[in-house]
Amino acid sequence: MIELAAIFIGIGFAFSYSSRSNKTNAVFLNKATSVDKLEGLEQHILESKPWNSIVVYGTVGSTSPIETNRSKTSGVFYQETASIVYERFFEDLPMLEDEAILLNRKEVPWYLEDGTAQVNVMGYKRARGFDYILKAYEFTDPVAKHFKSLLSQKNVKITDPKSCITCEEVLEIGTPLTIVGIAGRDQDGAPMIKRVHQIFNGRIELEELICDMESNSESYGISSIYFIATGMILLAMCVLEDLNEA
């Protein structure tokens, strides 16, 4: 029962962290300025403090897009990985394991456009949500050639050839994005987004986003209280049971 109590308390603290994270994010976004059209970014830079966050919407564009190897799509960021699932045998007992390697990665300068202006975007790869805006294409391939040293081990065996996958992840041209970041100017003095804090697929209204995060924070907070309280009750029952047996 102690193990079950620990699981409940652990889940409770995970919910508590999510609650605080959503609340902090909502407070942060509440201080951001929504710029309805990209042509208005110039005025925002003139009127606001340089560290004030902005929220903008547009679609991805580039003057020198990448043509991907396999999916034949055009993008501004591209990475290709090979992954494999295999069994490793210990005293004839199989354990499922996996491994992945990066085969290729490319990126080119890109901008956000909305019909009123084009704004270059920098500092985006560490932004929250970046992984979720990439379009994934998976291909079942004989990728064993990438894992020769692994597969040469006597206790390793591939049981399912379909678990050998090559994956392309692409930030495609024309992808609609909502970006939360810091505005600035490039070396020619043109408005740009010099750092991205968060990035979302599609058009997200700022007020709606804040409302969702506040709601999530409240829900996670209630769940946290429930799981921690339940875990503490189970823990107390264990202690009482041990005292009774002593």
Would you place residue 111 in the very low, low, confident or very high pLDDT band (cuts 50, 70, 90)?
very high
Reference 79, options 3, 167, 152, 20; nearest CA is 167
Q: Note the pLDDT tens digit of each residue in 58-78.
A: 999 999 999 988 888 999 999
Q: Which domains does the chain show, CATH number per domain?
A: 2-245 (2.40.50.140)
Which pLDDT belongs to residue 201? 93
Which pLDDT belongs to residue 170? 96
Calculate the alpha carbon distances from 99 to 70, 82, 86, 144 in Å.
21, 8, 8, 11
For residue 47, pLDDT over 80 is answered with: no
For residue 89, pLDDT over 90 is answered with: no
C-beta neighbour count of 54 within 10 angstroms: 21
pTM of the predicted protein model:
0.76
Which pLDDT belongs to residue 146? 81
Averaged pLDDT, 112-129: 92
Helix (H, G, I), strand (E, B) or coil at 78: strand
Averaged pLDDT, 154-171: 83
Q: Which tokens sit at 244?
A: 């009774």
Q: What percent of the chain has pLDDT over 90?
A: 34
Give yes or no for a contact between 81 and 141, defined as CB atoms under 8 angstroms apart. no
